[in-house]
A = this chain, B = another copy of it.
Amino acid sequence: MQVPKASDVLAEELRERILRGEFREGTVLPPERELVVQTQMSRTTVREALRILEVQGLIRIKTGRSGGAYVQVPGEESVASSVNLMIRGRRIRLAALLETREAIEPACARLAAKYRTDSDLVALETANVAISVESGSLADFLQANVDWHVAVATASHNELLTGFMSALSRAIYASTDNQGFIDAEVRSLTLRAHQRITEAIRARDADGAVRRMSRHVHAYAEAVLKIDERTAIEVPEG
């Protein structure tokens, strides 16, 4: 007997209707009790279906009067969270994260050089200014670093790459935090590299942007892994 779960069926139907555009972004689905009379299902089942859609990022549920299930479109956060779960669950090594970034980010730089707008440049420069603040804490530096890398991805105007890169950057941030990875020299080298890449993107120099970005992320990866190895030896069961 093949009996798919009622809540899954409802969730699937609502999902299709949302993706089909029947409910536009920002509109609210009918209230739970209304869905109950429409679907002849129990409120428990209806609620489970809504929960599924919420976790998938298709709706956002608000309580109170004029609350309800607000339709939204799954975006970067959704992809980022599943990527993060995979990274944590599979215990993906820092080396693999850096390798992935080496694989993807040069391509982001190429597209950024191709499609950047003036406001993209502003975002890049703002992030660079934040990095150059020498008095900032390590966390500040890393955050500004993430912001810059995400800004590059954003400048590519490719939503898929942007979502993936922001997840990746945050994961790398989390892994390189709370360890003695970054010293003053790394910070100044990073700043210089970012500036040179930003220049290439500004000049719409696609090949230059790729080359400089490749070198930058490769050098960063090598530096981090060297330190990672050392600390791994020093603290075998950290």
In the assembled complex, A123 has its CB within 8 A of some CB on chain B: no
Cα-based distance from A167 to B53 in the complex (angstroms): 20
Count A-side interface residues using an 8 Å CB cutoff. 46
Q: Chain B residues near A74: list those with CB within 8 A.
A: 82, 85-86, 89-90
Contact across chains for A82 and B86 when beta carbons are under 8 A apart: no
Q: Within the assembled complex, what's the spacing in Å between the Cα atoms of A74 and B167?
A: 15
Contact A75 B79 (CB under 8 A): no
Find chain B residues with CB under 8 A from A81 CB: 82
Say yes or no for A204: interface residue by CB 8 A criterion. no
Per-residue 0/1 for A147-175: is the Cβ within 8 Å of any B Cβ (1 yes, 0 no)?
A: 00000000000111101100010000000
Binds B, one of A100-108, A133-141, A177-185, A192-200: A100-108
Cβ distance A3 to chain B, nearest Cβ, rounded Å: 10
Stretch with Cβ within 8 A of B (4 or more), from A28-36, A54-62, A124-132, A222-230: A54-62
Residues of A20-75 contacting chain B, CB below 8 A: 44, 47-48, 51-52, 55-58, 73-75
Shortest C-beta distance, A58 to chain B (Å), equals 7
In the complex, whether A189 has a CB less than 8 A from a CB of chain B is no
Q: Which residues of A contact B (CB under 8 A)?
A: 7, 18-19, 44, 47-48, 51-52, 55-58, 73-76, 78-79, 81-83, 85-90, 92, 96-97, 99-100, 102-104, 107-108, 110-111, 158-161, 163-164, 168
